[in-house]
């Protein structure tokens, strides 16, 4: 049986993908969490995360399970 490993996207790629599709997956959420917990995010990365959170709040992005 073959297991497919998923590589998390860079935050800029994640932002572009989620913004264009309007959907955020579990892997996307883990990528954001890991960025905040393990890295020292740049101001641009913090702004991208803030924009994604805002888009979720106003209903432009749907959270998938």
- Does a structural domain hold residue 54? yes
Query: What mean pLDDT, rounded, does the chain reach?
Result: 88
Q: Residue range 8-29: average pLDDT? A: 92
The answer to whether residue 63 is domain-embedded is yes
Please report whether residue 3 resides in a domain: no
pLDDT of the residue at 57: 97
Classify residue 36: in a domain, yes or no. yes
- Residue 65 confidence (pLDDT) above 90: no
Q: Give which of 55, 4, 14, 5 is closest to 34, Cα–Cα.
A: 14
Structural domain that includes position 41: 28-65
Is the residue at 12 inside a domain?
no
> What is the tally of structural domains in the chain?
1
pLDDT at 2 over 50: no
In a domain, 56, yes or no: yes
pLDDT band at 15 (very low <50, low <70, confident <90, very high): very high
**pLDDT number for residue 30:** 93
Does 21 reside within a domain? no
Element (H, E) at 20: helix 11-21
């Amino acid at each position: 049986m073959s297991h497919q490993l998923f590589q998390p996207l860079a935050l800029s790629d994640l932002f572009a993908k989620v913004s264009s599709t309007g959907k955020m997956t579990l892997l996307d959420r883990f990528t954001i969490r890991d960025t905040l917990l393990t890295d020292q995010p740049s101001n641009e990365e913090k702004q991208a995360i803030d924009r994604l959170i805002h888009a979720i709040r106003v209903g432009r992005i749907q959270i998938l399970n």
